[in-house]
């Protein structure tokens, strides 16, 4: 049996609904089910970005311990309802939104006036109830993007003297559960299977949250690994919804192409030297990095990246 650590794959994705999915990951090296499951769970719950209201202002109100004329709920109740509204924001800038509602009836998140960069995920979320025909509710609010949890004291948004600050639970992941089972591939019987279920608030899909968490872990561990690389055996199973070419099934020309030396690609001397100096010696090494990782290489910029892409297109790779 090979002493290399086999590369796992997501072999199955069960989408229970738009907010919940279960991912089956196997085969994992013995003990890695718990290692990966715990790491992914912690990152999913603490580090996925989300958008929430971080401060608000109600016309005629200067603090939260009071009531609003013509409104059933007091300001504390309104504040708690505002914290439950989830947003999808396209961009990184602070968003200043306004709600104006007049007349008797419920006030919900769909009454908020939005711009092209903001979308309300749960428009039916109740904010308040106007119980007077002549009643009027005007709320200005600030929506921010962040990660994890932030206290009122840690807030950075500019707030006027009449703005009421909120602590913010940015994470769009509501719950993560996982379990580890035994699995086998052929004669190898001591492998792990990780079954992980992710529930979100709808502002991000479970699959996107899962992939973002994995990418965060990859970037963190890559920074610690330096230039050290460990060879891994090919995955023993086929990932879900993806057709992979096994090297044993590839025609000889394709295998040869992947093993082609960087020096044989006829790239410019500057680009060739930059790749070799970063321990990239073959096309296979080149394909192990994405565009962002290539641009981060020492001495390798956008022009070099474009040159490499053009060469790969020329070789139909």
**pLDDT tens digit sequence for 157-204:** 545 567 899 999 999 999 999 999 998 877 777 889 999 999 999 999
Q: Are the CB atoms for 147 and 178 separated by under 8 Å?
A: no
How many domains in the chain? 3
Hey, is 57 helix, strand or coil? strand
Range in 231-240, 271-280, 302-311 with the lowest mean pLDDT: 231-240
Q: Please report which confidence band the pLDDT of residue 3 belongs to, taking 50, 70 and 90 as the band edges.
A: low
User: Is 227 among the domain residues?
Assistant: yes
**Look-up: residue for tokens 């708690």?**
80
Which neighbouring-strand residues pair with 113? 98
Q: What predicted TM-score, i.e. pTM, was given to this entire model? A: 0.67
User: Is 302 among the domain residues?
Assistant: yes
43 plus 177 within the same structural domain: yes
Q: Please report which confidence band the pLDDT of residue 250 belongs to, taking 50, 70 and 90 as the band edges.
A: very low
Q: What is the CATH number of the domain that holds 197?
A: 3.30.1360.10
**Which token pair is 305?**
């990246």
User: Is 10 among the domain residues?
Assistant: yes
Q: What is the CATH number of the domain that holds 154?
A: 2.170.120.12
83 plus 124 within the same structural domain: yes
Q: Are the CB atoms for 20 and 247 separated by under 8 Å?
A: no
**Which token pair is 58?**
């109600």
122 plus 70 within the same structural domain: yes
Instruction: Give the residue among 104, 108, 134, 131 at the shortest CA–CA distance from 121.
Output: 108
User: Is 280 among the domain residues?
Assistant: yes
256 plus 118 within the same structural domain: no
Last residue of a domain, one of 148, 169, 190: 169
**Look-up: residue for tokens 């991912």?**
23
200 plus 116 within the same structural domain: no
Per-residue pLDDT tens over the stretch 11-69: 999 999 999 999 999 888 889 999 999 999 999 999 999 999 999 999 988 888 888 88
Q: Please report which confidence band the pLDDT of residue 243 belongs to, taking 50, 70 and 90 as the band edges.
A: very low
Q: What is the mean pLDDT of the chain?
A: 84
User: Is 23 among the domain residues?
Assistant: yes
Q: What sign does the dihedral 67-69-73-79 (CA atoms) show?
A: negative
Domain of residue 55 covers 49-169
Q: What is the CATH number of the domain that holds 259?
A: 1.10.150.20
**Look-up: residue for tokens 């080149």?**
286
Hey, is 40 helix, strand or coil? helix
């Amino acid at each position: 049996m090979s002493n290399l650590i086999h590369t796992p794959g997501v072999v199955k994705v069960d989408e229970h609904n738009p907010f919940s999915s279960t991912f089956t990951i196997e085969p994992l090296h013995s003990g890695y089910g718990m290692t990966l499951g715990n790491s992914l769970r912690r990152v999913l719950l603490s580090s996925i970005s989300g958008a929430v209201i971080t401060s608000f202002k109600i016309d005629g109100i200067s603090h939260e311990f009071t009531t609003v004329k013509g409104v059933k709920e007091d300001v504390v109740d309104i504040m708690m309802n505002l914290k439950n509204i989830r947003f999808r924001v396209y961009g990184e800038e602070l968003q200043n939104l306004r709600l104006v509602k007049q007349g008797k009836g419920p006030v919900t998140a769909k009454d908020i006036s939005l711009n092209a960069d903001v979308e309300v995920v749960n428009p039916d979320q109740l904010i308040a109830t106007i119980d007077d025909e002549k009643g009027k509710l005007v709320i200005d609010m600030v929506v921010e993007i962040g990660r994890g949890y932030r206290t009122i004291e840690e807030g950075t948004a500019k707030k006027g003297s009449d703005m009421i600050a909120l602590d913010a639970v940015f994470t769009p992941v509501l719950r993560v559960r996982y379990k580890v089972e035994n699995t086998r591939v052929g004669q190898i019987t001591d492998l792990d299977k990780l079954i992980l279920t992710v529930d979100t608030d709808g502002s991000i899909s479970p699959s996107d949250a899962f992939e973002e968490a994995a990418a965060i872990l990859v970037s963190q561990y890559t920074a610690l690994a330096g230039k050290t690389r460990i060879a891994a055996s090919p995955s023993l199973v086929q990932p879900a919804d993806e057709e992979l070419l096994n090297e044993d099934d590839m025609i000889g020309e394709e295998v040869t192409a992947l093993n082609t030396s960087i020096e044989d690609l006829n790239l410019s001397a500057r680009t060739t030297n930059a790749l070799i100096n970063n321990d990239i010696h073959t096309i296979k090494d080149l394909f192990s990095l994405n565009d962002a990782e290539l641009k981060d290489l020492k001495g390798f910029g956008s022009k070099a990246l474009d040159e490499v892409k053009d060469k790969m297109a020329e070789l139909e790779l």
